[in-house]
Amino acid sequence: MSILEQIQGPRDLDRLSNEECKQLAAEIREFLIAEVAKTGGHLGPNLGVVELTIALHRVFESPRDPIVFDTGHQSYVHKLLTGRRDFSMLRQRGGLSGYPRRAESEHDIVESSHASSSLSWADGISKAFMRTGQQDRFVVAVVGDGALTGGMTWEALNNITDDNDRNLVIVVNDNGRSYAPTIGGMARFLNSVRVTGSYRDLQEGSERLFSRFGTLGQTVYRSARGAMRGFVSRASDNQDLYSNLDIKYIGPVHGHDLGAIELALHQAKDYGQPTLVHVITEKGRGYAPAENDVADQFHAIGQFDPGSGAALETGGDASWTSVFREEIVRIAETNEHVVAITAAMLAPTGLDAMAEKFPDRVYDVGIAEQHAVTSAAGLAYGGLHPVVAVYATFMNRAFDQLLMDVALHHAGVTFVLDRAGITGPDGASHNGVWDLATLQVVPGIRIASPRDEPTLRELLAEAVGINDGPTVVRYPKGAVGAEVPALRRTSDGVDVLREDTASGGVRDVLFVAVGPMSRVALDAAEILAQQGITSTVIDPRWVVPIAPSVTDIARDHRLLISIEDGIRVGGVGTRIRQAIRDAGVDTAVSERGTPDEFPDHASRAELLHDAGLTAEQIAADVIEQVRGTRIPIARPE
């Protein structure tokens, strides 16, 4: 039996010798490479925190001492050490989540996978422990150097350092990267600390420590740690950013030397006040393809060959992101006023090509969506047209800035929201189902949802041509699919995709489809046609505001069905309902969207089925309403 197979919980680590811990680390890396190769997932970040996670669970007593992972994509090792070894369905329905999840284990504290929030969580938990007489409990926040670019981290630090009477340990997992190399002044500071002699001395000191004590056991080691504190070097005064925050600082510590990490964590634990432990790790440690991954493909990867590290073929269809990547460069070539901003996601959003061709026109601000949006308002005031490219779920963090800094000031800023709607495997916090409901309440906003590659290109061009207010272009994750041609376009820009022959001038159903849901609407219309039910399918292209032709076309139909892959409550469908009522149209309206709940991790097809957003389900509902019979629906594979 391997050492990993003997680990049912964190306390099983206590009996391991130093050599056994090293063997466990090697086994964990082998396990992760083999398992993630089958399912895909966040491999690079987890290979980098193997020793750190082992040390955390040996020094602290989870869950009594809560460990809060910032972002949480680096929690695979934590899952293994807390008894979860079945990775066969990682990020799939019924399998382990790719992030901490309370329903899985009492050891998982914070589920949200949005960065820079762990210190605020730790601040609140540690305050609660002090107020409720639990002074013997510790709280540990594990935050990456990339998350230090987020403003919430510094808001939390400001409060943490104002109250020193509590057991709070902040571990900075510094690998110089988030999705890509960490940028900005913070990154330059941390890089300067990495190359100081203290880091090299610490590594050598820890090696001497364990060569001296060998396998005599943790009792000897722990009794000696007080005398060995000199090996945990404090950064020089001219480099110590944290000294001005009045917080204890330990480091930098070699992040792949178990002895060094445990020594530092024990010292932090002994202080009895907020302490920051700076740990230097290597993303992708122990797997050459990931270690040499300059493009960060192993940060979040699909299925791959574990021998070579090569990604397995998943089809050659262009993705929505790749179409944007190409089109934004073309637009930038013809419009010198266009600049771009992203929040630590240059390649994932597709801005890397523009950054390569126009490096002085693309700004990566780090994990700082709020700053990105208000900075964009300033760029617009200065005469430029900024394009802010982020994942739809992360746009939630900058709503106030969009409302008060961009919209209120009529700033011409285009927001490109990748991964909009249902994304699937990454789970609740990564689905982009809230953008339509939240953003459409912003006065003066214009929201576009392309259905295919040509409409993405034309809507992006139209968006950057609008300079009197915010525009949004949103699209889902995955392949863009085949072109969906229009029969005609109305004078106000609505595309008519299907028009059945009407009996007496009135058709049965009008489908108003938001972007990619056009294919669902067309398939549903075809099913209805086989039952003798007539339909029209339209794609508004610009879904907010509602084009007048939508209400005009609705007059000639008995039922209007809106279909969107966003939350139904407060979604585009409700806006369409208001618009046709305001126009005095009495057509019945049925809004189809996702339920007002957090989607679980599952495939996009499974989640669309759960929400009733398949062509078969929608058609069945109409047929039942019209004919009084229900056709059987099969669940997706």
**19 given a catalytic annotation:** no
Same domain, yes or no: 454 and 578: no
Q: Give start and end residues of each alpha helix (H) in 292-406.
A: 320-334, 346-349, 352-357, 369-381, 392-395, 399-401
Same domain, yes or no: 455 and 551: no
Same domain, yes or no: 346 and 244: no
**283 given a catalytic annotation:** yes
For residue 381, the number of C-alpha atoms closer than 13 Å in the C-beta half-sphere is 11
Same domain, yes or no: 447 and 507: no
Same domain, yes or no: 331 and 281: no
Same domain, yes or no: 214 and 77: yes
pLDDT class of 630 with cuts at 50, 70, 90: low
> pTM, whole model, 2 decimals?
0.85
Out of 276, 291, 306, a domain closes at: 291
Same domain, yes or no: 19 and 164: yes
Out of 441, 474, 507, a domain closes at: 474
Same domain, yes or no: 413 and 523: no
CATH code assigned at 548: 3.40.50.920
Catalytic residue among 29, 58, 283, 507: 283
Same domain, yes or no: 362 and 462: yes
For the cut 90, the answer to whether the pLDDT of residue 123 exceeds it is: yes
Count up the domains in the chain and report the number.
3
Catalytic residue among 91, 177, 397, 568: 397
- The verdict on residue 381 lying in a domain is yes
The residue with greater pLDDT, 74 or 545, is: 545
- The verdict on residue 449 lying in a domain is yes
- Position 203 scores a pLDDT of 42
Structure tokens at 396: 């939630």
175 is in an annotated binding site: yes
- The verdict on residue 299 lying in a domain is no
605 is in an annotated binding site: no
3-state percent helix, strand, coil for the chain, nearest multiple of 5 = 40, 15, 40
The residue with greater pLDDT, 501 or 413, is: 413
Max CA pair span of the chain: 94
Supply the DSSP symbol for 309.
Answer: -
**558 given a catalytic annotation:** no
- The verdict on residue 110 lying in a domain is yes
51 is in an annotated binding site: no
Q: What pLDDT digit, counting tens, does each position of 189-232 carry?
A: 555 554 444 443 444 444 443 333 343 334 333 433 433 333 33
Same domain, yes or no: 151 and 253: yes
Q: What pLDDT digit, counting tens, does each position of 126-146 carry?
A: 999 999 999 999 999 999 878
- Position 237 scores a pLDDT of 38
Same domain, yes or no: 101 and 245: yes
295 is in an annotated binding site: no
Mean of the pLDDT values across residues 436-449? 97
Residue 586 domain boundaries: 495-627
CA 470 to CA 435: how far, in whole Å?
Answer: 14
- The verdict on residue 53 lying in a domain is yes
CA angle 238, 242, 248 (to 5 degrees): 115
- The verdict on residue 304 lying in a domain is no
242 is in an annotated binding site: no
Catalytic residue among 369, 564, 591, 616: 369
- The verdict on residue 301 lying in a domain is no
Out of 291, 310, 334, a domain closes at: 291
- The verdict on residue 271 lying in a domain is yes
Average confidence score pLDDT of the chain: 87
- Position 207 scores a pLDDT of 41
Same domain, yes or no: 345 and 221: no
Helix (H, G, I), strand (E, B) or coil at 543: strand
Q: Please measure the distance between the N-terminal and C-terminal CA atoms of the chain and give it in whole angstroms.
A: 36
CATH code assigned at 284: 3.40.50.970
